[in-house]
Amino acid sequence: MHLFQIRRWILESPPIEWAVLQFRELLIGALRQGPVPRHVAFVMDGNRRFAKSHRMETVEGHNLGFEALAKVLEVCYKSGVKVVTVYAFSIENFKRSKYEVDGLMDMAKVKLAQMLQHGDLLDRYGVSIRVSGQKDLIKPDLLADIDRATTSTSRNGDAILNVCFPYTSHEEITTAIRNTVLDYSKPLPIHQRPFSESHIKHTIRSRHLSAAASRIRDRSRSPSPGAASDVGDSTSSSTTLNAESPSPDSVLAAKVDDISDDEFRNKYPDPESITSEILNDHMYTAGLPPLDLLIRTSGVERLSDFMLWQCHEKTDIVFLKCLWPEFDLWSFLPVLVEWQWRRKKDEERERVARPTARTAVKAKST
């Protein structure tokens, strides 16, 4: 019998399980006394390697990975974490064998059904499910189950499980930019009142310009009878006048062009107003709190095209050597404690920096 199976058998024995449960509740209660990350993300890596090292089917490794996720989710929500984002399936994973991809899709269907039928975890902590990714790559039957899961949990408002499936950051950012361009290509809504002062001025100006334009067109079409005979006598003077001063037609055309340009500029949103906040509103994580903590298992130290936009200067990124099916409270607890310690240090530095900044401002003003 393998060491992992012996350890699992011991921990699942009733007396040990009860003692571990009580100790876990004590630790989680202690964690809640300090700052808790609002948004935690997991790269659940190592399921295949775990299955290979334990001589089991790859799909069974993924199955054990889902069981580990259920336990970690309970720890997160019980500790006070509001949003958990998991990298469930990358778009790049479609390059794997058809057998493994189909197995993952079938397992996703089964696990979604189980979560909805026996949704104690979701109901207990008021968790709503969100699925982020390129959903047009998902099979219709699985997509229907996903829509059913998101709809049935949409009323839960205490916490969120954000499942990235199928997902890559490049695809997310590309989609966000594309949607932003589409929004900025739509005309702005007109909120003018029919009898407002600006509307009346604009209407009068338009009528005067159109009347002047029609008068100039009528003159150009019907020249006066004496115009031909006077051409020879006044060639030099008219030529000089025309060369130095623009014709009424060109002046009117310039005015109309200016008004048209102004109207065009006022009709569409200004691209210069696009900010990172606007792009953030078009991401899959729109409306979610900033990412506080990102954890990747299996010892691989890269993000693998996950949450590239959401990682910011205060995001703690932690790489652990354990494989995802082995990840549990005892792996997670040191990470949370270290995160709390760093946050307390940051708060102390900010507290010390505030009086120093105020003193500098007062000295400068005097």
Question: What's the CA gap between 268 and 193, in Å, rounded?
Answer: 19
Q: Which residue has the higher pLDDT, 155 or 208?
A: 155
pLDDT at 120: 82
Question: Average pLDDT for residues 98-118, to the nearest whole number?
Answer: 86
- The 10s digit of each residue's pLDDT in 210-237 is 676 676 666 666 655 554 444 444 444 4
CA of residue 6 relative to chain centroid, distance? 43
User: Which tokens hold the place of 127?
Assistant: 């968790």
> Judging by DSSP bridges, how do beta strands 293-296 and 127-132 pair with one another?
unpaired
pLDDT at residue 21, as a whole number = 77
Average pLDDT, the chain: 82
In the Cβ-directed half-sphere of 229, how many Cα atoms lie within 13 Å? 3
**What pLDDT, in 10s, does the model give residues 134-166?**
999 999 999 999 999 999 999 999 999 999 999
Is residue 310 pLDDT above 80, yes or no? yes
pTM: 0.74
Whether residue 166 is preceded by a cis peptide bond, meaning omega within 30 degrees of 0, is yes
- Could you tell me the pLDDT band of residue 65, with boundaries at 50, 70 and 90? very high
pLDDT digits (tens, 9 = 90+) for 316-343: 999 999 999 999 988 999 999 999 999 9
Q: Residue 112 is which amino acid?
A: L
Distance of CA 214 to the CA centre of its chain: 54
- Answer whether 146's CB lies under 8 Å from 138's CB: yes
CA dihedral for 160, 165, 169, 174, sign (positive or negative):
negative
Is residue 287 a contact partner of residue 310, using CB atoms and an 8 Å limit?
Answer: no
| Tens digits of residue pLDDT in 17-41 | 777 778 878 888 888 888 999 999 9
Answer yes or no: are the C-beta atoms of 166 and 93 closer than 8 Å: yes
Q: Decide which of 137 and 365 is more confident.
A: 137
Q: Are 41 and 294 in contact (CB under 8 A)?
A: yes
| Closest to 158 in 3D by CA, of 121, 114, 118, 115 | 121
Q: Which residue has the higher pLDDT, 187 or 176?
A: 176
Token pair 């949409």 in the structure block, residue: 154
What pLDDT does residue 289 have?
97
